[in-house]
Amino acid sequence: MTDEEARTTTGDGAAARTALTCLVTGASGYIGGRLVPELLDAGYRVRCVARTPHKLRDHPWAGRVEIVRGDVTDAESTARALDGVDVAYYLVHALGSGRDFEGADRAAARVFGEQARLAGVRRLVYLGGLTPDGVAESRLSPHLRSRAEVGRILLDSGVPTAVLRAAVIIGSGSASFEMLRYLTERLPVMVTPRWVRTRIQPIAVRDVLRVLVGCAALPSEVSRAFDIGGPDVLTYLEMMHRYAAVAGLPKRVILPVPVLTPGLSSHWVGLVTPVPASIARPLTESLRHEVVCGEQDIERYVPSPPGRPLGFDRAVALALRRVREAQVATRWSSASVPGAPSDPLPTDPDWAGGSLYSDLRELDTDVAPDALWQVIEGIGGENGWYSFSLAWVVRGWLDRLFGGVGLRRGRRDARRLRVGDSLDFWRVEEIERGRLLRLRAEMRLPGLAWLEMSVEGDAGGPVRYRQRALFHPRGLLGHLYWWSIWPFHAVVFGGMARNIVGAASRARGERHDR
């Protein structure tokens, strides 16, 4: 079937797309994990290839796709993965692997391109890096040089290929964005390398995904590279200032100096951020190059809808949206599933998504789950918080002193809670009666805080009380706040867990006595 036949056989665009199968490599990675649901929503069949398929099982879309085991460096498994595929997305790279990533990327691209041609794949789509005009490839950083070489190998494979070249991608989980996030949030005053004055054309992850999906329907005669970027061209310095403004942080004091080499810069980034040095170094080396789009030809084939592409400030706001709305992702709260490309995913690396401090307490008990739940749902108000009462009272006074709500609000009902109820200086964010209570702090804090209490187990079996205090700091003050109160956690939160279980046990004993 030709491309034209695929578009016109049914007379319906969505139905025609359903006939096409897309292979996504790197589905456990940052872009791949977000591209899969976009392709599904666009009406395509999707197959994912992964060296360890079980890594994909936590994705909400796992049951809607075909998952196969394969390795792009192995011709045999790659051939099996590509069998029957119409469009193949190449979204893998060896950056951060701790080996010769240029050689590994080169070999893998050759295997993939050759096997795609033999399998009769009609379109390859590759997301690479934006390279500066007029700079010889030999002078590029190893990271950008490797991305350019992979794109060239795929274009020479004999399969029509779209190489999308992007600079910094703005979205929670993107290594470049996370580096920007941590540097800006953790350092109100910083001495920086001169590359902070390099001009960059960032792009929102939502726009990257939109273009990636659109490339599946490119005419067969189109085989070339395209520059993609957002509407803003900014220096890294300007990006840090604007990130701070969107995040509600005080203006940063940034002092560029000429003495920090890319190597020293990567060590500096490693000290300040949790981004691994094996990733930070190639990225910081690439920042010495100006990366601005030289053309916008992709608009002829995948035109932007009104209001797109998104500007830098809007892209940052969306990347921070989950935190601002306190609808945190699964690995933070175990309560919700990411709903937008900008949101964190469970498979994102541990260092993605910004800092999140946690205090976890777990206790096994022979108390019945319903008795334990009654104590949990009755917390606050006249019943108090089951630990170090004076500390809670003082915290309430301090909150009132700084214009907060303090402990004066109490609770609406002495026995029952509902989502949205105020509870002293907390608010009920989620309740699964008998299992989970999650509270969001409304006291004055240099960050966002949650308190979770849950019951695990059934009547007649082992029962566990689980308690988590979570804190997402805002700026350096937020980090200092957490560590200043950390010595008291054992008394406040440890005592709280023990006393809640103890109160449930005493209540059970009183019922038995009666």
**E-assigned strand segments in 4-94:** 21-25, 45-50, 66-69, 87-90
Summarised one tens digit per residue, pLDDT across range 10-23 is 334 555 555 799 99
Q: 279 and 412 in one domain?
A: no
57 with 40: CB under 8 angstroms? no
**Residues comprising the chain, all counted:** 514
Range of the domain at 92: 3-333
Interaxial angle between packed helices 175-186 and 236-247, expressed in degrees from 0 to 180 and rounded to the nearest 10: 70
Quick: pLDDT tens for 294-326: 999 999 999 999 999 999 999 999 988 744 443
At 242-300, the pLDDT tens digits run 999 999 888 888 887 776 565 666 666 666 776 766 677 777 777 778 999 999 999 99
| 198 Cβ neighbours under 8 A, 6+ residues apart | 235, 236, 287, 288, 289, 290, 291
pLDDT beneath 50, residues of the chain: 1-12, 322-339, 513
Query: In the prediction, which pLDDT does 329 show?
Result: 34
Looking at residue 465, which CATH number applies to its domain? 3.30.530.20
Strand partners, 189: 253
| 3-state secondary structure (DSSP) of residue 458 | coil
Q: For residue 194, what pLDDT is reported?
A: 78
Number of domains observed in the structure of the chain: 2
Judge if 190 and 275 occupy the same domain. Answer: yes
CA 217 to chain centre: 28
Q: Is residue 418 left, alpha or beta, with left meaning phi > 0 and alpha meaning psi from -120 to 50?
A: beta
Tokens of 182: 């941590």
Give the whole-angstrom CA distance, residue 83 versus residue 21: 10
- CATH code, 186: 3.40.50.720
By the 8 A CB rule, do 140 and 202 touch? no
> Domain check: are 431 and 495 in the same one?
yes
Residues 200, 55 share a domain: yes
